[in-house]
Amino acid sequence: MTGFGRGEAAGNGLNATVEIKTLNSRYLDVSIRLPQILQHKELALKELFQKSVNRGKLNVSVNLTQQDNTEPNIKVDEDKVRTYARVLNEVREAAGIEEPISIKSILNFGDVFVSQQDDEESINQKWQLVIEATHNAIGNLMQMRNQEGGQLRKDLLSRIASIDDAVGEILTITEGRAEEVRVKLHERIKQLVEDENIDEERLEMEVAILADKMDITEETVRLRAHLKFFVEAIEQPEPAGRRLNFLTQEINRELNTIGSKANDSEIAHHVVKAKEMLEQIREQVQNVE
């Protein structure tokens, strides 16, 4: 299911921001961009997402920034400053330049400032901020997905009801159809067979076999059972995306069998309508977690 979640956390002069963007996927695929100092925490962060999200392609961006009123985490490399000052003085004397060296001259060397190394405590503080921001982002993501899921639920239930209506129409058409098919087959076979000594019992048996092959009662019963299970899966609080995907395949299989066995244009018309509705359900199911 598509969605977006953003979470923030602040403390110890730092701001942590986590953004989550999700796309449809049959499985869970988490891609995380972390600051260099927290790269070793990627697996732990993925495990955090696995506890909350079951399906989808997640693109996660984690950022850490200093608060505006916080001193920059840098220091002066005094050894390099002294070295550069000595070298510049030597150049000045060799060139016969009387003008003294300035701070600006030394600052032209970009490596006179170095970042202070984070100790274990500092890294842990940053990690805790990221965890807090991640929880906030996941909460916002799930809220958005729940809102979208409510609309998706209504749409799926409506389409399942339409398929059930089509099955009802098919059952209405097939009431008493077995006997009608038997009679028509019996008459047609007698017309085709010129042998007056035809075995009536054998003929009845063959007709019964053919009529049974055209009977779709078993398929319609299974189909309605799948529709019932589909609705139950939607109504339950647990994630049901994979189950709905499986039931969609089963419903399609029963519709295909009904269409091929019935050998009736009116039934085929209702099967086509049901399959059109099912194709729309199949696309929507990919959005369900």
User: Is residue 10 one of the residues assigned to a domain?
Assistant: yes
Question: Can you spell out the DSSP letters for 256-269?
Answer: HHHHHHH--HHHHH
d(CA 166, CA 141): 37
Binning pLDDT at 50, 70 and 90, where does residue 17 land? very high
Domain that holds residue 35: 3-70+125-137
d(CA 6, CA 136): 7
Per-residue pLDDT at 203 exceeds 70: no
The predicted structure's pLDDT at residue 150: 81
Q: Give the global pTM.
A: 0.54
The predicted structure's pLDDT at residue 236: 83
Q: Tens digits of per-residue pLDDT, 166-196?
A: 999 888 887 766 666 666 666 666 665 655 5
Q: What is the dihedral of CA 244, 245, 250, 251, to 10 degrees?
A: 70
User: Is residue 120 one of the residues assigned to a domain?
Assistant: no
Q: Are residues 219 and 109 in the same domain?
A: no
Q: Tens digits of per-residue pLDDT, 139-158?
A: 999 888 777 778 888 889 99
Q: Are residues 46 and 29 in the same domain?
A: yes
User: Is residue 249 one of the residues assigned to a domain?
Assistant: yes
Q: Are residues 233 and 164 in the same domain?
A: yes
Q: Are residues 248 and 210 in the same domain?
A: yes
Q: Are residues 100 and 173 in the same domain?
A: no
User: Is residue 280 one of the residues assigned to a domain?
Assistant: yes
Residue 30 in tokens: 């988490």
CB 74 within 8 A of CB 116: yes
Q: Are residues 49 and 89 in the same domain?
A: no
CB 6 within 8 A of CB 17: yes
User: Is residue 162 one of the residues assigned to a domain?
Assistant: yes
Return the CATH number at 12.
3.30.230
Binning pLDDT at 50, 70 and 90, where does residue 131 land? very high
CB 75 within 8 A of CB 116: yes
Binning pLDDT at 50, 70 and 90, where does residue 136 land? very high
Across the range 210-221, mean pLDDT stands at: 72
Q: Are residues 187 and 246 in the same domain?
A: yes
Q: Tens digits of per-residue pLDDT, 80-129?
A: 888 988 888 888 888 888 888 888 888 887 677 666 556 688 888 889 99
d(CA 191, CA 193): 6
The amino acid occupying position 2 is T
Number of structural domains the chain divides into: 3
d(CA 74, CA 82): 18
Angular region, 69: left φ>0, alpha ψ -120 to 50, beta rest: alpha
Please enumerate, as own/partner, the contacts of 159-164 that have beta carbons within 8 Å and a separation of 24 or more. Answer: 159/277, 159/278, 159/280, 159/281, 159/284, 160/227, 160/230, 160/231, 160/281, 162/273, 162/274, 162/277, 163/227, 163/251, 163/274, 163/277, 163/278, 163/281, 164/224, 164/227
Q: Are residues 193 and 111 in the same domain?
A: no
Q: Are residues 80 and 13 in the same domain?
A: no
Q: Are residues 65 and 193 in the same domain?
A: no
Per-residue pLDDT at 222 exceeds 80: yes
Q: Are residues 192 and 264 in the same domain?
A: yes
Q: Are residues 133 and 7 in the same domain?
A: yes
